[in-house]
Amino acid sequence: MIDGVDKTGTFYEQMPRNELESFQSKALIRTVARAAQSQYYSNKFKENGLDVNDIKSRDDIVKLPFTTKEDLRLSYPTGMLAVSPMEVVRMHTSSGTTGKPTAIFHSQEDIDNWSELMARCLAMAGATANDVFQNMTGYGLFTGGLGLHYGAERLGMWVIPAGAGNTTRQIMLIRDFGVNVIHATPSYAMHVAERMVQDGDDPRSLGIKIAVLGAEPYSEEMRLKLQDLYGFTAFNSYGLSEMNGPGVGFECPYQNGMHVWEDSYLVEVINPETLQPVAEGEVGELVLTTLRRKAMPIIRYRTRDLTRVLPDECPCSRKHIRLARMLGRSDDMLIVRGVNVFPSQIEEVIMQHSWIGGNYVIYLTRKESLDQMVVKVEIAPGAFDGSIDTLRYRRTELQHQLKDQVGFNVGVEVMEPGSLPVSEGKAKRVIDERGV
């Protein structure tokens, strides 16, 4: 029991809106006071002439400074630690960076709260203590492994910490132990399914009923394709190391956007240029403030992830707001011949075709000062009927659709199944060789 609440935090999950907001106000005041214990925020508040007593409710969030990844890097290793090192029980780092990573610290209470959030997510998707859960993402500094692991244990599930990779063993474990809930990146789940099809096997025969898929952007079309291949229900899971990791946003069975647990995170969506809030429901950069973290509170963290708050209440009756599927990261946006393109826009088109497999790469080069985009796709296992004419026709059709989507000519290269590099973790979808 945490704060008199059961292990999945049902009390917070069901909170009416007004109670949720008044809880947030109290939690924000506590968070700011805690943050002031760190060297970084104590200096930052002084620089900004901010008195922590000026923060009286959630509306005062706008008085607080933003925090960026660069701030985290500059305060590396422990500048943002707000408790004595004795209280730290674990640290993680954020992924995908070169040079110094950003280090995130957790107290025992932080780990308990994070586990509760993850248990809440899994329970919301319909998982129970009777289910067998295979965790197919990397363990270690990456938060996907341990984050889901602790949450699934908290729920009382039978947990198989398979980690990433070794596809043959993954399939064997799923079969031998009757796994019915999995966690993976969508690109890896696709790889496993295609391997099975290629080997004459059927992913549906695994009997998986729930898949938790996240850690990277993917389109609705990709979700539908995966659901069709496996016969499971796929739940989008969003999070980032700076905000613990997974467990920030998660879909309910209506699959209509990700509920953000607002008892733990305060949500803002801003225009990244003006830093002002966007109009209700408009796309902008997601900014998050931790409301429960003790060892390392983070205030107004600029995630760089682009999304919007969905209007209307969810039919599931939870009052926690919902975010639309991430459009991408502002730093993932490609500018090709002056046009802004998100890899997700390309994926949306590709995934509508059943003859195309789930792996693809967007390849950018420059020829005589002109940007060239080539999309490399694989034929889905078993989809080639031997006719080159059909293949040519399909390629031309795809080229036209991509041109309609982005507004300029896009080359298409069709490859044999299994020719493109596979990642066991986050997929690398763009290879940009244009130089600066």
Tokens 């005062």, located at residue: 60
Binding residue for ligand DLL (CB under 6 A) from 25, 187, 303, 372?
A: 303
Q: Which helix or strand (DSSP H or E) is residue 91 part of?
A: strand 88-93
Name the amino acid, one letter, at 200: G
Q: One symbol per residue from 279 to 298: x for binding ligand DLL (CB under 6 A), - otherwise; what is it?
A: --------------------
**Interacting residues with ligand DLL between 398 and 417 (CB under 6 A):** none
CB 245 within 8 A of CB 118: no
Binding residue for ligand DLL (CB under 6 A) from 138, 239, 297, 417?
A: 239
When the beta carbons of 107 and 135 are compared against ligand DLL, the nearer one is: 135
219 binds ligand DLL (CB under 6 A): no
Binding residue for ligand DLL (CB under 6 A) from 45, 133, 238, 360?
A: 238
Binding residue for ligand DLL (CB under 6 A) from 101, 151, 214, 381?
A: 214
CB 364 within 8 A of CB 335: no
When the beta carbons of 248 and 379 are compared against ligand DLL, the nearer one is: 248
Query: How far is 68 from 304, CA to CA, in rounded Å?
Result: 9
When the beta carbons of 75 and 94 are compared against ligand DLL, the nearer one is: 94
Binding residue for ligand DLL (CB under 6 A) from 127, 222, 240, 361?
A: 240
Q: One symbol per residue from 95 to 114: x for binding ligand DLL (CB under 6 A), - otherwise; what is it?
A: x-------------------
Residue 389 sits at φ, ψ, to 5 deg, of -60, -45
Sign, CA dihedral 297-103-300-147, equals negative
Q: Which stretch binds ligand DLL (CB under 6 A): 10-18, 36-44, 236-244, 274-282?
A: 236-244
Residue 304 sits at φ, ψ, to 5 deg, of 75, -5
**Interacting residues with ligand DLL between 171 and 210 (CB under 6 A):** none
Task: Please return the burial class of 422, using the count of CB atoms within 10 Å of its CB with bins 0-12, 13-18 and 19+.
Answer: middle
31 binds ligand DLL (CB under 6 A): no
Q: Which stretch binds ligand DLL (CB under 6 A): 52-60, 169-177, 241-249, 378-386?
A: 241-249
**Interacting residues with ligand DLL between 56 and 95 (CB under 6 A):** 94-95
Query: How far is 268 from 286, CA to CA, in rounded Å?
Result: 6
Q: Which stretch binds ligand DLL (CB under 6 A): 164-172, 190-198, 211-219, 381-389?
A: 211-219
Q: Which two tokens stand for residue 162?
A: 């398979």
**Longest Cα separation, the chain:** 73
Query: How far is 339 from 406, CA to CA, in rounded Å?
Result: 8
Binding residue for ligand DLL (CB under 6 A) from 101, 245, 284, 357?
A: 245
Instruction: For residue 159, give every residue at least 6 positions away whose Cβ sits within 8 Å of its Cβ, in sequence order, or none.
Output: 133, 135, 149, 152, 153
Calculate ∠ Cα 193-194-196, nearest 5°: 65
Query: How far is 327 from 344, CA to CA, in rounded Å?
Result: 7
230 binds ligand DLL (CB under 6 A): no
Q: Which stretch binds ligand DLL (CB under 6 A): 47-55, 212-220, 359-367, 427-435?
A: 212-220
Least spacing, CB of residue 421 vs ligand DLL, in Å: 19
When the beta carbons of 246 and 257 are compared against ligand DLL, the nearer one is: 246
Render 324-335 in DSSP notation, one character per residue.
Answer: ----EEGGG-EE
Using DSSP's 3-state secondary structure scheme, residue 432 falls into strand
305 binds ligand DLL (CB under 6 A): yes
Q: One symbol per residue from 112 to 141: x for binding ligand DLL (CB under 6 A), - otherwise; what is it?
A: -------------------------x----
Using DSSP's 3-state secondary structure scheme, residue 53 falls into helix
Binding site for ligand DLL (CB under 6 A): 94-95, 137, 142-144, 214-217, 236-241, 245-246, 303, 305, 326, 329
